[in-house]
Structure 1
Amino acid sequence: MVKQYFTYDERLGINLPSLQSDWEDYPFMEQQRILTHWETIRGNIPDRIQYLEKNINAKQEELNNENDFLKSCHLNSQIASLASIINDLWIWFRSNQTVTEAKMHS
């Protein structure tokens, strides 16, 4: 079962690889199954980012109309948190692209 090699990351909202052994210790067919499952997850990252961007836009609109300083600070904090999640998702999306391509073509 491939899902045992992934752990759900609450903050990012996706499953991330969680391998217990070195990559080379897994049989080739298991590596392929892991990579295929990761590609499915990875393929959904842009949709997750788009969803978070919509949340940011809504919070920015709310911030534009907010006159209460403390509420504005809270909204800014939420926006920064969402932006940080987006940044981390892009890192996962891009960094593993080269690893996946290299492993699938070897």
Structure 2
Amino acid sequence: MPFFRYDERLGIPVPRLAKEWEMYSAEEQFAILTEWEEIRGRIPDRIMAFERLIIEMQERLGLEDSFDESCRLNGEISELASRVNDLNIWFRTG
């Protein structure tokens, strides 16, 4: 059973453990931690990519005259900010 599943929303694999941590053998724990550290190392790049998109959308929002389009952009910015928050939580997990 794989220990990680790809999260489309975040753009990284996240842990998917089938049992309590203590139930894994030392070798399995080592393998899980090794893979997680490799994944975790990519999180800052994902955060920066989302932050760049947020900045682009904020710039577009500043020029937008349409209320409906402004609302749509605000919703997208909020979703991207939520992803950044979730990635920061995953980054601190480890």
**If the TM-score is normalised by the length of the shorter chain, which range does it land in?**
over 0.9
How far the C-alpha of 1:13 sits from its partner, in A, is 1.2
**Identical amino acids, percent of aligned pairs:** 54
Q: Which stretches in structure 2 are left out of the alignment for 5+ residues?
A: none
CA distance in 2, matches of 1:84, 1:30: 32
- What SS is found at the alignment partner of 1:16? strand
- Tell me which of 64, 70, 73 is aligned to 2:62: 64
Partner of 1:9: 7
Number of residues of Structure 1 aligned to a counterpart in Structure 2: 94
Unaligned 5+ residue runs, structure 1?
Answer: 98-106
RMSD over aligned Cα, in angstroms?
Answer: 1.1
Where in structure 1 do 4 or more consecutive aligned residues deviate above 4 Å? Answer: none
Match of 2:48 among 27, 41, 50: 50
Query: What TM-score do the two structures reach when normalised by structure 1?
Result: 0.85
Q: Under a length normalisation based on structure 2, what TM-score does the superposition of the two structures give? A: 0.95
